[in-house]
């Protein structure tokens, strides 16, 4: 599994108008609707249900919201860079501006966990986070993410 198979170029967005965690989840749900063709409300509810178990803000301004959806047959990802960080109830109390959302089939355990681990390892790199924060072009963000993961796997 690699990021280029999880993250399609059209699944990378820079958000300029998000002002809260709820609005962010709505934006994630809207993009995911276009990617996986499920109702926005269903995606939003699945994300919120997972968040109710514990916040997915992992620290250093990064969040990894994720949801399992029974209709899916493979894992999909979406990346968002926020112009204005939002409070995400992260463990380190830092607001979030880099968000990698994952959507997995309900019955997949290993693939979902592998995808979470891959994304977590990738976004743990402080240099990569700095490059992502310094760019506002979605194509550049996609390239940074997928080339970083590929270069580390080689």
What's the pLDDT at 83? 95
pLDDT tens sequence for the chain (154 residues): 788 889 999 999 999 999 999 999 999 999 999 999 999 999 999 999 999 998 898 999 999 999 999 999 999 999 999 999 999 988 899 999 999 999 999 887 688 788 888 999 999 999 999 999 999 999 999 999 998 856 665 4
Indicate the pairing of strand 12-15 with strand 57-59: unpaired
Enumerate domains of the chain plus CATH numbers. 3-153 (3.40.930.10)
- What does pTM read for this prediction? 0.93
DSSP state of 74: S
Q: In the annotation, is 142 catalytic?
A: no
Residue 154 confidence (pLDDT): 47
How many other C-beta atoms are found inside a 10 Å radius of the C-beta of residue 91? 11
Residue of 66, 76, 112, 142 marked catalytic: 66
Those residues with Cβ within 8 angstroms of residue 77's Cβ, 6 or more apart along the chain or in another chain:
3, 6, 7, 11, 100, 101, 102, 103, 115, 119
Sign of CA dihedral 73, 28, 31, 49: positive
């Amino acid at each position: 599994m690699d990021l280029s198979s999880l993250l399609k170029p059209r699944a990378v967005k820079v958000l300029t108008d998000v002002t809260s965690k709820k609005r962010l989840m709505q934006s994630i749900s809207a993009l995911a609707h276009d990617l996986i063709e499920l109702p926005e409300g269903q995606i939003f509810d699945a994300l919120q249900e997972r968040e109710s178990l514990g916040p997915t803000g992992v620290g250093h301004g990064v969040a990894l919201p994720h949801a399992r959806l029974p209709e899916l047959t493979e894992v999909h990802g979406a990346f968002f860079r926020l112009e204005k960080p939002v409070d995400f109830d992260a463990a380190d109390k830092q607001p979030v501006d880099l968000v990698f959302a994952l959507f997995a089939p309900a019955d997949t355990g290993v693939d979902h966990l592998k995808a979470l681990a891959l994304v977590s390892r990738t976004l743990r790199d402080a240099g990569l986070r700095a490059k992502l924060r310094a760019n506002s072009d979605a194509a550049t963000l996609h390239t940074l993410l997928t080339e970083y993961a590929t270069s580390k796997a080689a």
